Amino acid sequence: MANIDQKQRELKFLKPFIDDNRRQAAERQLATERRLADGRRLATAERRLATERRSAAKRRLATERRSAISCWTTISHWVTIQRFTVTRRLATKRRLEAKLYPEGKRRPGGWTSLRRAAGKRRPAAKRRPAVNRRSVANTNHHELKYRPDPTQLPIKFPKVE
C-alpha cells in the first residue's frame, strides 16, 4: 500500500509537467493497483476469519463430544439411552422408598436424603468418575485405597550437595 501512496504522490508532483493522456493512464493504473491491493487484503482477512470459525467449530464439537459420552450412534439412540438411565434410577429410588418408608410415612424429596437414609453415603449422581476407578479382582475400588502410606515407605531422597 505504501508503494501505491508513493506513486500517487509522485503523480501529484508531476501533474503540471506531463500531458493529459499520460496522466489519465497513470491514474487509471494506480486505481487498478489500489483495487487489487484492497481485494488481496480483504481475501486474507476473510481467509483468517474462516480459519478461526472452523477451529471454533471444532472446539465446540469436541466439548459436545465430551459432554455427551454416549453419543456414538444417532441422536435418537442417545436419547433412548438417557431416558433408560433416568427410568432405571427412578425405579431404584422407588425401591429404596418402599423399603425405607412403609405406607403412610413421610417420604424425603431428594435423592441424597433417600440414599443417606438407606445408609449409602454418596448421592448417585456424584459417584466417582471412571478415571479414578481401578478394577481389582472385578471390584470398583477407588485407586486411593491401594496407594501405600508414604510415611511407611523407605523413601530415598537425593542428597543435596
Report pLDDT digits (tens) over 3-38.
Answer: 777 887 887 777 777 777 887 888 888 888 888 887
Q: Model confidence over 90-140: pLDDT tens digits?
A: 667 777 777 777 665 666 566 666 666 666 655 555 555 555 444 444 444
Per-residue model confidence (pLDDT) at position 46: 82
Torsions phi, psi for 134 (to 5 deg)? -140, 130
Per-residue model confidence (pLDDT) at position 155: 56
Cell of 83: 431416558
Query: Does residue 161 lie in a domain region?
Result: no
> Is 65 in contact with 71 (CB distance < 8 Å)?
yes
Q: Model confidence over 73-103: pLDDT tens digits?
A: 455 555 555 555 556 666 677 777 777 776 6
Select from 49, 66, 83 the last residue of a domain. 66
Q: Cell 530415598 belongs to which residue?
A: 156
Domain count, the chain: 2
Query: Does residue 160 lie in a domain region?
Result: no
Cell of 112: 441424597
Contacts of residue 74, Cβ cutoff 8 Å, sequence gap at least 6: none
Per-residue model confidence (pLDDT) at position 107: 61
Question: Do 89 and 137 share a structural domain?
Answer: yes
Per-residue model confidence (pLDDT) at position 32: 86
Question: Do 77 and 129 share a structural domain?
Answer: yes
Query: Does residue 155 lie in a domain region?
Result: no
Share the mean pLDDT of the chain.
66
Q: Where are the beta strands (DSSP E) in 92-148?
A: 133-136, 139-142
In single-letter form, the type of residue at position 13 comes to: F
Mean pLDDT, rounded, for 38-65? 76
Question: Do 97 and 58 share a structural domain?
Answer: no
- Say how far apart CA 107 and CA 63 lie, in whole Å: 38
Select from 42, 66, 90 the last residue of a domain. 66
Domain span at 25: 2-66
Question: Do 90 and 46 share a structural domain?
Answer: no
Question: Do 91 and 49 share a structural domain?
Answer: no
Q: Cell 515407605 belongs to which residue?
A: 153
Per-residue model confidence (pLDDT) at position 89: 65
- Say how far apart CA 107 and CA 117 lie, in whole Å: 11
Question: Do 138 and 93 share a structural domain?
Answer: yes
Query: Does residue 153 lie in a domain region?
Result: no
Please state the pTM of the whole predicted model.
0.28
